[in-house]
């Protein structure tokens, strides 16, 4: 494939390619997997959890509906969001100063603290409950734990990721337990699930997530998803190999929820831009999945084989030293 070009992919074609890459687009997409290999050392131990409070922007949806969080393995899984009021917003303004630039109107619901994985990537989504018992995905996010977000921010500041040194990261914001989820996160999740972009390794995931944010076109997709409302997702009845409906224990046919064609029309440009950045990213050399070969090479999972802690340790004079983060579940 020539540099800078990508064939047009319909929603169905992208789902097929995702399946070929061994990942699923449909709900729950990326349910919470990750082998932890290749991450910075020492990463949080396997099974470690961290507490986050999730704050949503559902200003383009029904304010009276019931919304639930889906985070497999969490004690808070399927918990209902509460509507923000003056008191809860006042607490957030005190506890989450990094969100001071977000208007109150874009902070509509919250839940938590809930426990999330501190050592692996997880796809989290939010559903709106229908009166007939059905549910519709309204938001989603690719959750990368604090440890790996901070590590990549430090590496980007040093120039080890991204090609050139970036401004010093706001570590307090990255470590703050309050997490804002909006259509920009949903847009990133759509792009991230492209088979040449998706990563289960948490350090690679943090790098790819940041590069997608740096495309310059992600906001266009976020605004488009916001304007589509519930139509950013399409629902498809699930059938078996012989065409017979697949039903659950309650007799209802399973429904697959995927990004709609209207969503993918705009996502295509963001994916193209993200692929350019990923293919040029030296820290991911040897770790990219290629459509032409249908295989993944991960002999050097990240940073061209360099140990992130060792790299950051050499940069202490510049103020970027890898420091272990508290990853135990707290209030």
3-state secondary structure the chain: CCCCCCCCCCHHHHHHHHHHCCCCCCCCCCCCCCCCCCCCCCCCCCCCEEEEEEEECCCCCCCCCEEEEECCCCCCCCCECEECCHHHHHHHHHHCHHHCCCCHHHCCEEEEEEEEECCCCEEEEEEEECCCCCEEEEEEEEECCHHHHHHHHHHHHHCCCCCCCCCCCCHHHHHCCEEEECHHHHHHHHHHCCCCCCCCCHHHHHHHHHHHHCCCCHHHHHHHHHHHHHHHEEEEECECCCCCECECCCCCECEEEEECHHHHHHHHHHHHHHHHHHHHCHHHCCCCEECCCCEECCCCCCHHHCCHHHHHHCCHHHCCCCCCCCCCCCC
pLDDT in tens, 162-195: 888 888 888 999 999 999 999 999 999 999 999 9
Lowest mean pLDDT, pick from 91-100, 164-173, 268-277: 164-173
pLDDT at 27 exceeding the cut of 70: no
Lowest mean pLDDT, pick from 151-160, 182-191, 256-265, 288-297: 288-297
On average, the pLDDT of the chain sits at 79
**Full-prediction pTM beyond 0.85?**
no
Q: What is the mean pLDDT of residues 66-85?
A: 96
In the chain, domain spans: 11-318
**pLDDT range class, residue 241, cuts 50, 70, 90:** confident
């Amino acid at each position: 494939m020539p540099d800078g070009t990508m064939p047009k992919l319909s929603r169905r074609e992208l789902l097929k390619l995702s399946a070929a890459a061994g990942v699923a687009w449909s709900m729950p997409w990326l349910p919470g997997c990750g082998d932890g290999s290749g991450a910075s050392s020492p990463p949080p131990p396997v099974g470690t959890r961290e507490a986050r409070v999730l704050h949503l922007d559902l200003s383009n949806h029904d304010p009276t509906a019931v919304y639930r969080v889906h985070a497999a393995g969490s004690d808070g899984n399927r918990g209902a969001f509460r509507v923000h009021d003056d008191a809860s917003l006042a607490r957030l303004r005190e506890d989450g100063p990094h969100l001071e630039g977000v208007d109150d109107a874009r902070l509509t619901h919250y839940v938590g603290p809930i426990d999330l994985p501190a050592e692996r990537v997880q796809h989290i989504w939010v559903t709106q409950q229908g009166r007939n018992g059905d549910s519709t995905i309204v938001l989603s996010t690719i959750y990368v734990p604090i440890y790996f977000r901070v590590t990549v921010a430090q590496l980007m500041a040093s120039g080890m990721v991204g090609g050139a040194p970036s401004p010093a990261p706001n570590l307090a914001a990255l470590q703050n337990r309050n997490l804002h989820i909006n259509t920009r996160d949903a847009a990133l999740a759509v792009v991230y699930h492209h088979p040449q972009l998706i990563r289960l390794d948490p350090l690679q995931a943090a790098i790819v997530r940041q590069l997608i944010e740096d495309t310059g076109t992600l906001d266009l997709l976020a605004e488009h998803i916001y304007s589509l409302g519930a139509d950013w997702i399409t629902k498809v009845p699930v059938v078996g190999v012989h065409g017979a409906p697949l039903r659950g224990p309650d007799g209802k046919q399973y429904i697959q929820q995927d990004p709609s064609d209207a969503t993918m029309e705009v996502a295509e440009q963001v994916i193209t831009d993200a692929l350019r950045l990923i293919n040029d990213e030296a820290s991911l050399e040897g770790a990219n999945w290629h459509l032409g070969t249908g295989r993944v090479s991960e002999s050097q999972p990240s940073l061209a084989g360099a140990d992130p802690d060792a790299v950051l340790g050499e940069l202490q004079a510049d103020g970027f030293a890898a420091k272990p983060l508290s990853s135990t579940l707290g209030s």
